[in-house]
Chains A and B, each alone.
Chain A
Amino acid sequence: MDTFIQIVISGLVLGSMYSVSAIGLTLLWGALNVLNMAHGAFLVAGGYAAYYFGGYLGLPAYVAIPGALATGVVLGLLVYAGVARPLRKNANFETTVIIATVGVALVIENLVQKGFGAYPLKQPLSLQGGFNIAQTFVPWNSVLVCVVSIVLLVLLDFVVRKTRYGRMIRAVAQNYEAARLMGIRTGAVYRFVFAISGLMAAISGIMLSTATTLSPTMGYDPMLKAFIVCVIAGLGEVRGALIAAFALGVLEATVQFQLGVRFALPLLLLLVVVTLIFRPQGLLRKNEASRL
């Protein structure tokens, strides 16, 4: 029983982190056909910004965290203005933007390394303490991470499905030209989605760094996991990504526990391969053509 609870709890924590990071990625793809390879670097920037404001400048959490979130939003907007927007008219937009964002990732990572060094740092903004369920210690920080993720994702799903802005995003995703002809300012929609994606990455980066440590390369693993979640759920699926993230989190924790840590990643990758062979549109998607 204890083992079971431990597995479930660590699975949920993993799942929450994957989900927030996957949502940022999947939203950009679903809405704008942009596969942002700098997403992992956005996570790094968010985590380090929180460290900088909270640890280095010693600002209180209620200033440091919004500061880090703003950093994510600004980065998202900069990548839109500096990379996506100039490339948008390009015929091979979808592929050129992948390569360009790899470049952005390298720049961000190296700037972080130059500024903060390559050694792992401890994130000062984490909740201390915890409580016990059936002799299993549950840190408050993990509870917070779970709650924040679920609230965020439910909120985002609501925005995309029910609000005026969400309708505009879906319209641009499903038919760019028709959206323009309905008077939608597509540039504003692009900016909004990039900002949200940057925000999600920053949140994910802060959460991740409170659970582990900060390092300039800490974005790779969550970005890989976010890709896995997206492939399995179907790229562009907001709700699907949420379900897949939690399912994969619990699966990963179970495999780590029962078979050993080294089997977790190969198993996830195997799942990706199997999904791509038998259901390339993703497990949770109705049809191949579906967008947001």
Chain B
Amino acid sequence: MTPILEIAGLGAGYGSVPILHGINLSFGAGQVCGLVGPNGHGKTTLLRTISGLLPTTRGQTTFDGESITGLPVHEIVGRGVIHVPQGDMLFGEMSVLDNLLVAGTRLAATSEVEDRLAVVFDLLPRLKERRFQSAFTLSGGERRMVAIGRGLMAGGRLLMLDEPSLGLAPAVIDEIYDVISKLSHAGQSVLVVEENVTRAAEVSDVVALMDHGQIVQVGAPETLLSGLSIDATYFGG
């Protein structure tokens, strides 16, 4: 299987403080990759570096066979790498529909926009009901759905979700993960950052464990879950 995303020796940080120390990660098209690890170990930084928000200091990111290292954010988005940020970052004063349409700005034809909208509303029917409502009036789960919907509208060939379960009630997390597994069945490539290892393992084909700015273990969810390194990473054991 050709890898959809291939990261080799990637380094990045904030100012002079390095956070990522040579990340290596690769997974195939149509796969869901779960990126797990405790807080503050560089998971979000990795997503921000892939999407171009943070400059790469060393190493290489290849998307679908082509290097996207150092490209401006809008070009990386244009290739189909969509970063759904932590905390949703919706356009609060805009309606749900406008939020989705902003994400579809790059699509040239109106028919394309409408097709894409139909797909999003099909997957997330609640958004269709709420489409004329201001984003800030939505519940946490609905906001998360708008964020994911926006990612799909933007034409995400690879959807990178940063902690989709953050701050949601367990029942709502179930709903969100339902959406992720539907996406996965439809052949969507997803990179999902998650603190909850069990949640990530449920939907992932590959799980990568991150520790101190490095990927310390990659494997199928079953092998990783039964291994000891997770306990060691989380509990320092």
Bound pair (A, B): yes
Taking Cβ atoms with an 8 Å cutoff, the residues of A that contact B are 164, 167-168, 170-171, 174-175, 177-185, 289-292
Contact check, A168 vs B102: say whether CB atoms are below 8 A apart: yes
Of B83, B92, B98, B105, which contacts A181 at CB under 8 A?
B83
User: How far is B91's CA from A291's CA once the two chains are assembled, in angstroms?
Assistant: 10
Of A178, A180, A289, which contacts B91 at CB under 8 A?
A178
B161 smallest CB distance to A (angstroms): 12
Told that A171-B94, A178-B89 touch, could you supply 5 new A-B pairs with CB distance under 8 A? A167-B98, A167-B105, A171-B91, A181-B53, A181-B82
A142 smallest CB distance to B (angstroms): 36
B206: chain A residues at CB < 8 Å are: none
B73: chain A residues at CB < 8 Å are: 180-181, 183
B residues 139-165 near A (Cβ < 8 Å) are 150, 154
Beta-carbon nearest neighbor of B76 in chain A:
A183
Most chain-A Cβ atoms within 10 A of its Cβ — which of B73, B82, B101, B102? B102
User: How far is B92's CA from A184's CA once the two chains are assembled, in angstroms?
Assistant: 17
User: How far is B89's CA from A168's CA once the two chains are assembled, in angstroms?
Assistant: 15
Contact check, B85 vs A181: say whether CB atoms are below 8 A apart: yes
Of A171, A177, A290, A291, which contacts B102 at CB under 8 A?
A171
User: How far is B90's CA from A180's CA once the two chains are assembled, in angstroms?
Assistant: 12
Contact check, A179 vs B93: say whether CB atoms are below 8 A apart: no
User: How far is B85's CA from A242's CA once the two chains are assembled, in angstroms?
Assistant: 36
B78: chain A residues at CB < 8 Å are: 183
B79 smallest CB distance to A (angstroms): 10
Contact check, B74 vs A174: say whether CB atoms are below 8 A apart: no
Contact check, A178 vs B94: say whether CB atoms are below 8 A apart: no
Contact check, B90 vs A181: say whether CB atoms are below 8 A apart: no
B154: chain A residues at CB < 8 Å are: 182-183
B residues 79-114 near A (Cβ < 8 Å) are 82-85, 89-94, 98, 101-103, 105-106
Beta-carbon nearest neighbor of A178 in chain B:
B89
Most chain-B Cβ atoms within 10 A of its Cβ — which of A171, A174, A180, A181? A181
A203 smallest CB distance to B (angstroms): 28
A168 smallest CB distance to B (angstroms): 6
